[in-house]
């Protein structure tokens, strides 16, 4: 009964969070120079954690915010328009999702270990053995412990965002790994059949 309840909780979490992320992405307004409000403030906060916005989040979209958005767009391969159209909103949503996984899975690890976890997500997208989008990789059944145990819901640290940014820009301390695990917490010994690539902190990275 305990395992059944845990499974139901995990399924509900995946469905709810997946819907929430998609809904936010679809219905958030385009933000541009001259507008103000809570959406702008949240954007500034995210840009700040990523290292693009270096002042207090005011909720006003001025030239400083525009320049920060353009820097984000260049690094995340979106046309540098300076406003948050659908593609930019999608990228920001994906960054948020990845940061939540990194925070839930590796917040006790070094920054290098956090970048490695973010890189594994991207490596899975590039692998034919996994889904080819960030949301599908993250919410694939039993792919990440943080989804199942609710740690995905925790507010990500700034280092989690920075780790995602570093991985997107090409840093991969995992050396191409598509799996990682903490040997002391393994419940399915199948993971030991994977080829070990490297070890960072408590995590073994493998293919």
Domain count for the chain, please give it: 1
Q: What is the pLDDT of residues 146-176, one digit of tens each?
A: 999 999 999 999 999 999 999 999 999 999 9
Inside any domain, residue 21: yes
pLDDT of 20 above 50: no
Q: What is the DSSP letter of 170?
A: T
Inside any domain, residue 177: no
Inside any domain, residue 12: yes
Q: Check which CATH number belongs to the domain holding 21 and give it.
A: 1.10.10.2520
pLDDT of 9 above 60: no
pLDDT of 177 above 80: yes
Inside any domain, residue 50: no
**How far lies 55's CA from each of 65, 95, 196, 199, in Å?**
10, 21, 43, 37
Inside any domain, residue 60: no
Q: What is the pLDDT of residues 92-129, one digit of tens each?
A: 999 999 999 999 999 999 999 999 999 999 999 999 99
Q: What is the pLDDT of residue 171?
A: 98
Query: For the chain, what is the mean pLDDT?
Result: 90
Inside any domain, residue 107: yes
Q: What is the DSSP string of 102-146?
A: HHHHHTTS-HHHHHHHHHHHHHHHHSTTS-SSHHHHHTSTTS-HH
Inside any domain, residue 26: yes
Q: What is the pLDDT of residue 27?
A: 53
* Full domain range(s) for residue 114: 2-30+85-170
Q: What is the pLDDT of residue 186?
A: 82
Inside any domain, residue 52: no
Give the global pTM: 0.85
């Amino acid at each position: 009964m305990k395992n059944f309840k845990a499974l139901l909780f995990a399924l509900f979490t995946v469905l709810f969070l997946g819907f929430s992320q998609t809904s936010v992405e679809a219905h958030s307004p385009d933000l541009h120079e001259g507008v103000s409000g809570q959406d702008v403030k949240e954007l500034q906060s995210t840009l700040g954690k990523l290292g693009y916005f270096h002042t207090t989040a005011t909720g006003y979209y001025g030239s400083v915010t525009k320049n920060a958005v353009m820097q984000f767009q260049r690094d995340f391969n979106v046309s540098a328009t300076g406003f948050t159209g659908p593609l930019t909103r999608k990228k920001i949503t994906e960054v948020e999702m990845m940061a939540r996984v990194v925070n839930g899975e590796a917040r006790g690890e070094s920054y290098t270990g956090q970048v490695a976890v973010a890189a594994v997500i991207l490596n899975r997208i590039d692998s034919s053995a996994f889904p080819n989008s960030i949301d599908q990789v993250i919410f694939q059944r039993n792919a990440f412990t943080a989804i199942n145990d609710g740690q995905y819901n925790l507010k990500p640290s700034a280092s989690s965002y920075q780790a995602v940014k570093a991985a997107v820009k090409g840093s991969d301390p995992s050396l191409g790994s598509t799996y990682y695990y903490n040997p002391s917490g393994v419940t399915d010994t199948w993971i030991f059949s994977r080829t070990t690539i490297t070890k960072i902190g408590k995590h073994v990275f493998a293919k």
